[in-house]
Amino acid sequence: MAVFAAGYYALTGAPGPDGKITLATGGVGHYHELGLAYQKALAPYGVEVVLQPGVEGFRTLRGLVAEPPEFDAAFVKGGLVGSMQGRLARAKAQEWQSKELGKLRAAGRLFYEPIWVFVRSDFTGSTLADLKAKKILMGARGSGTRFIAGQLLRANGVDTSRDNPLLIMGDLSPDAAELVSGEAEAAILVQPADSELIQKLLRLPSIRLMDFSLEADAYVNRFPSLSKVRLDRGAVEFEPLIPAKDITLLATSAVLVVRADLPPSLVSLLTHAALHNPRAPFDKSGDPVLFHKPGLFPHLSDPEYQVMEASRQVYKSGDLPVALRTAAPAVKEAGFPYKLTAFISDHGAATVLFVIPSLVILLPLLRFMPSLYSWTVRRRLMYWYRQLKMLERRLDKSPSTVQRADYLAEIERIDSGVRRIRYPLYFSDQFYHLRLHIDLVRQRLTEMPEAPAPRMAAE
């Protein structure tokens, strides 16, 4: 199959992908770590993964759907696209979602990113609705955190218009100075549980987490991109006891998003990398990551994006398609461009359907070929045997001197013709028999007496 594809590619110069994926890894270290893992995993298949850090939120989505695209794939916070639909979404967000979402596909949900709502320890409220008329720190403009937080706050009647001075752009500092100083009364973050910022904030006695236990099921029903997770009593520390009681949180899940027009072979390879390079279950200090459940991530059930068939096949089988799995490393090793790998992957099934009927026809012919070749060689031998037999019959009458010279020239012509025949080794005996017969005829001719010269008629 690879030989057929290489021949086709060489003859037609068929266009194809260049084996390069530009992956936006956002501003979160966990995304970049996964990007490095994918980069390493795809290198043996001849695919170059170029990482683009520092781009996140809505800016990432715009780069994915741009023409020409800025990125081929990206890590995106779950719930970002979901916040752009429904009656709570702004008109511009709804317009973008209806127009551009069809250009994107999901290649897997990767890990939980809980929604952490930190408030001052003296805050008396218990729900997001109690944040009305309060100063809220809710992420940078255009960030995924701000989109997600905005949707939840609007659902609770909180004014999230741009001219609301109570909404503060930016993230909470590791020492929660904004909350401690009273600059803000609440801060909303969407980050993995093992991020350094979250781990530091969980241990500060001057702030606490908002508990969503009373309304968590309602949030999950209203917003399909959300899940609920429980932070058990003492899950962070036993001494001091953190948290002092069970706390229910809302959570999104990070998603690997690709362009809908990304070649299927690249989608398969990227999906395979995501499936076989999940996030580690332990943090940098060796402690288990909060909310981690073995086998839960990555998965392909997605409430926000459509899923490409190439990704479904990889998740279903757990491996790459056979043609792609075998051809990609061989093509890279041989020094061919990735376009050849893509051709084999895209046309592998068609090639097999072509090759199998062809073999059904060719195999009997191949079995007949040795007999045909033997017949061809024997035919050439018989030609010279006939020539020699005709000459030998002419020797039955004693030749004259002139005839003798002609017959000798004919014998040399036959001998020269036989010498020029190329033949396999197992035909050697037949060729030597023919040359032996030629020598016998030559010897007979040289030993024959000359015919007497004819007498002149009397004048």
Query: CA-CA distance, 359 to 13, in Å (whole number)?
Result: 26
Helices (H), 101-192: 144-155, 177-180
Instruction: Report the alpha-carbon distance of residue 151 to residue 138 in Å, rounded.
Output: 11
436 membership: H or E segment, kind and range: helix 428-447
Q: Tell me how far apart the alpha carbons of residues 340 and 332 are, in angstroms, rounded to a whole number.
A: 9
Q: In this structure, what are the phi and psi dihedrals at residue 86, rounded to the nearest 5 degrees?
A: 90, 175
Please check whether residue 291 is in contact with residue 193, taking contact to mean a CB–CB distance below 8 angstroms.
yes
CB 35 within 8 A of CB 360: no
Contact 151, 83 (CB under 8 A): yes
Tokens read off for 447: 């030993």
Give the pLDDT score at 347: 72
Residue 381: per-residue pLDDT: 80
Contact 138, 162 (CB under 8 A): no
Q: Which amino acid does the sequence have at 11?
A: L
The pLDDT score that the predictor gives to residue 323 is 86
DSSP structure string for 242-256:
ESSS-EEEEEEEEEE
Q: How far is CA 392 from CA 298, 329, 416, 418, in A?
A: 89, 67, 17, 17
As assigned by CATH, the class of the 19-336 domain is alpha beta
State residue 292's pLDDT score: 93
Alpha carbon separation from 134 to 183, 202, 213, 216 (Å, rounded): 10, 22, 22, 22
pLDDT the model gives residue 1? 45
Q: If we measure between CA atoms, which residue out of 140, 136, 114, 115 comes closest to residue 125? A: 136
Q: What are phi and psi of 328, to 5 degrees?
A: -60, -50
Q: Coil, strand or helix: which one is 138? A: coil
Cα distance between residue 345 and residue 277, in whole Å: 22
What residue spans of 101-206 are helical by DSSP H? 144-155, 177-180, 196-202
Nearest to 128 by CA among 253, 252, 304, 249: 249
Q: Where are the alpha helices (DSSP H) in 188-296?
A: 196-202, 216-222, 264-276
Q: Report the 10 Å Cβ neighbour count for 427.
A: 17
Q: 451: which DSSP letter?
A: P
- Token duo for residue 336: 């061919």
**How does strand 247-259 pair with strand 227-231?**
antiparallel
Q: Which residues of 15-53 are buried (b: 16+ CB within 10 A; e: fewer)?
A: ebbebebbbbbbbbebbbebbebbbebbeebbbebeebe
Question: Which stretches of the chain score pLDDT less than 50?
Answer: 1-12, 456-459
Of 297, 200, 291, which Cα lies nearest the Cα of 254? 297
Q: Which helix (H) or strand (E) holds 379?
A: helix 338-394
